[in-house]
Structure 1
Amino acid sequence: MKIIGGEFKNRQLKTPKGFTSRPSTSMLREAVFNILQQDIEDCYFLDAFAGSGAMGLEALSRGAQFCTFSDTSRESINTIAHNLKQLAIPKDKFQLLKQ
């Protein structure tokens, strides 16, 4: 899975192992961000049931000010943390919540 637009375009993302999550497709993310494109810059974004964090990472890539990633799975939280580190996203740009 890859980021489809913005600063991190074409960067590969790790996904959680197993069947506990179903990553959002690039077609879905593209549709959402086509609708939000004028409003995403400098916004605060919530990626609930985050899985790999693809939606929130896409938002940050496209200029969101901050993203909160929330998931119930420790595997997902670890995967999101890995993706944030790989993209070198500063810690003041996100929050990870395990619910």
Structure 2
Amino acid sequence: MRVIAGEYKGRNLKAVPGDNTRPTTDKVKESLFNIIGPYFNGGVCFDMFAGSGGLGIEAVSRGIDHAFLSEKNRKAQEVIRNNIQITKEEDKFTLIAGDSRRNVAKIAAENPDTRFRLVFIDPPYQAEKTVEDIQLLVKEELVDEQTTFICEMDKHNQLPNRIELYQKIRRVEYGTIAIEIFEA
């Protein structure tokens, strides 16, 4: 696993040991960022179920100003810390330990002016509540009409075409996974 493009291009990232997380493969990450970017002129992103932190790190490498990375698993938190250190720009990242859905309220309370440009939602498949996650982010006023949601799921699942004010603009499948992208 590595950073594909941008400022940190080529830097190797660590993966979380075990089967509790599914890191987004380099091929999928490259394709995904070609669809949504590939580069950004600032903004803040939120990786709601960060795993190794690879998506948030890739986003910052490609021009996002800051990434909030939420992760409950302690082993994954340690991997995220190590991967953030690899960037040598730790101040561009905020790791928030604990339940991701509770962390949304915490972020909103501590950063009332923050609006996310990108939101990655890739929960453990058994805990998938993507519609409710988007609704929660809307309720907490952390997203606006400039936000893009990138939702990863098992390819047999499909989200509605519209969630709140966000419309599904694309669905792509890679092997056993699917990614759906929503914009206002």
**TM beyond 0.5:** yes
TM-score (norm 1): 0.90
Segments of structure 2 that go 5 or more residues without pairing to the other structure are: 100-184
Give the ranges of 4+ consecutive aligned residues of structure 1 lying more than 6 Å apart after TM superposition.
Answer: none
Look at both structures and tell me which one has the larger radius of gyration over its CA atoms.
Answer: 2
Identity of aligned residues (%): 36
1:71 aligns with 2:99: no
Give the 3 Å change call, closer, same or farther, for CA 39–61 of structure 1 in structure 2.
closer
Q: Which has the higher contact order (CA 8 A, sep 6+)?
A: 1
Structure 1: which amino acid aligns with 2:94? Q
Task: Give the TM-score, by structure 2 length.
Answer: 0.50
Tell me how far apart the structure 2 counterparts of residues 39 and 10 of structure 1 sit (CA, whole Å). Answer: 16
Aligned to 2:84: 84
Q: Which letter does structure 2 place at the counterpart of 1:13?
A: L
List alignment gaps of at least 5 residues for structure 1.
Answer: none
Which has more strand, going by share of residues?
A: 2
Deviation of the 1:38 alpha carbon: 6.1
Matched, 1:94 2:93: yes
RMSD after superposition: 1.4
The correspondence of residues 29-68 of structure 1 with structure 2, limited to 5 A, is 29-37=29-37, 40-68=40-68
| CA distance, structure 1, for counterparts of residue 8 and residue 39 of structure 2 | 18
Could you tell me which amino acid in structure 2 is paired with residue 27 of structure 1? K
